[in-house]
Amino acid sequence: MAMANGSPGVSALLQRDLRRGAGLLGLSLALALAVNAFRSDPLPLRYQPPAERLSRVLAELGAGSTAPAQATLPETTLEEVRAISEGRKPGLLLDARPSLFYETGTIPGAENLSRETLRDDYPRLLPRLQAAQAASPSTPLVVFCSGSDCEDSVLVASALARLGHRSVTLFKGGWDAWEAAGYPTFVPEEKEPEQP
Amino acid sequence: MKLPPWFLRLAEWAFAAVFLIAGASKLSQPLAFADSVAAFRLLPSQAIAPLALGLPVFEIVTALCLLLRRWRSAALLVLTLLSAIFLFALLQARARGIAVDCGCFGDWMKTSPSVAIGRAFALLACGTALYRRAINLS
């Protein structure tokens, strides 16, 4: 509906802008598909959830097909994690968060075994995993991520179990619980743990 | 209250910059953004990858239109509607007890759901005010 002075009304402007917006959307989708086609690692047009992607990686690594249910994975307490970190108890801490977060700070002594880059991280860490359990297979491999809402620790712990490792445990409280407790943190490129 | 034109232009640039940064961040990590979209449990799986690919580019293209003042009011409308959609997605996730980071700025800037909701609401309010001004001046 036009205004009395001949300028288009709000409704007409809204319709015009919605049409232009639809045009921008179409242009964007075409550009997006073109950009994706030229990526070195294009995103598949069929989405695969993290668990499914991890299963493919595990198959490439030669893992067994049976994953333990989350309920069967034992849990480790904050105090036990601290004891392992300080060397008072045997064990190996594994940070399942993406490397971006690991590199900004982690629990002292933790190695990065990220769900996202397991294909590369696992072969690199395998000697360390084997060495940790060489003296005793019951030495715990403690997996954590950001906190109780993060599923990456469960996925990585299950992956380790499928790859034949024993004594895999979960630290559900994760990095959030460690930070909240005020314990020392470790930034990988630094040599000494940072005191809070 | 009549605001000076330079202030409104600065507000539009800031509004556009937020979406430009958000879009570029998500574009650099399409898989992480796809996982964030899936975590909302709002869309069928077939829609997740197209959205994860298209939305960041849509944000960048629209933000550039606003910065270059091409189809300015259309760009403002689109970005305002996107803010409304983000806010709806976050609120429904909270209502359903789904703990999720909106993934709005990719993995580089994960925030708590409350912060994400506050941010989306602020963007919606800002976009609405700017769009209303834009069409009054058209």
pLDDT mean values, one per 10 residues, chain A (196 residues): 59 93 96 94 91 88 66 88 95 92 92 91 93 88 89 91 92 93 87 53
The closest alpha carbon to A114, from B107, B52, B26, B109, belongs to B107
pLDDT greater than 80 at residue B89: yes
What SS3 class is residue B99? coil
Residue in chain B nearest A27 by alpha carbon: B58
Question: What value does the mean pLDDT take over residues B37-54?
Answer: 92
The closest alpha carbon to A63, from A152, A166, A161, belongs to A161
- Give the 3-state secondary structure percentages of chain B, helix then strand then coil, rounded to 5: 80, 0, 20
Strand partners, A8: A2
Which pLDDT belongs to residue A149? 75
CB A158 within 8 A of CB A192: no
Strand partners, A194: A185
CB A93 within 8 A of CB A142: yes
* pLDDT tens digits, one per residue of B110-129: 567 788 889 999 999 999 99
Contact call for A24 and B46, based on CB within 8 A: no
User: What is the strand order of the sheet A111-112 is part of?
Assistant: A111-112, A92-95, A141-144, A168-170
Residue in chain B nearest A48 by alpha carbon: B45
Question: What is chain A's alpha carbon radius of gyration, rounded to the nearest angstrom?
Answer: 24
Which pLDDT belongs to residue A146? 87
Contact call for A49 and B38, based on CB within 8 A: yes
Q: How far is A101 from chain B (nearest CA, A)?
A: 9
Q: How confident is the model at residue B1 (pLDDT cuts 50, 70, 90)?
A: low
Residue B21 half-sphere exposure toward CB, CA atoms < 13 A = 10
Contact call for A31 and B38, based on CB within 8 A: no
Question: What value does the mean pLDDT take over residues B45-50?
Answer: 94
Question: What value does the mean pLDDT take over residues B89-107?
Answer: 72
Q: How far is A168 from chain B (nearest CA, A)?
A: 26
Instruction: Read off the pTM.
Output: 0.76
Chain A touched by B93 (CB under 8 Å): no
What SS3 class is residue A92? strand
Which pLDDT belongs to residue B4? 85
Question: How far apart (Å, rounded) are the C-alpha atoms in residues B53 and B34?
Answer: 8
Question: How far apart (Å, rounded) are the C-alpha atoms in residues B118 and B120?
Answer: 6
pLDDT greater than 80 at residue B22: yes
Residue in chain B nearest A146 by alpha carbon: B110
Which pLDDT belongs to residue A100? 82
Contact call for B107 and A100, based on CB within 8 A: yes
- For chain B, report the end-to-end CA distance as a whole number of angstroms: 19
ipTM for this prediction? 0.87
pLDDT greater than 70 at residue B107: no
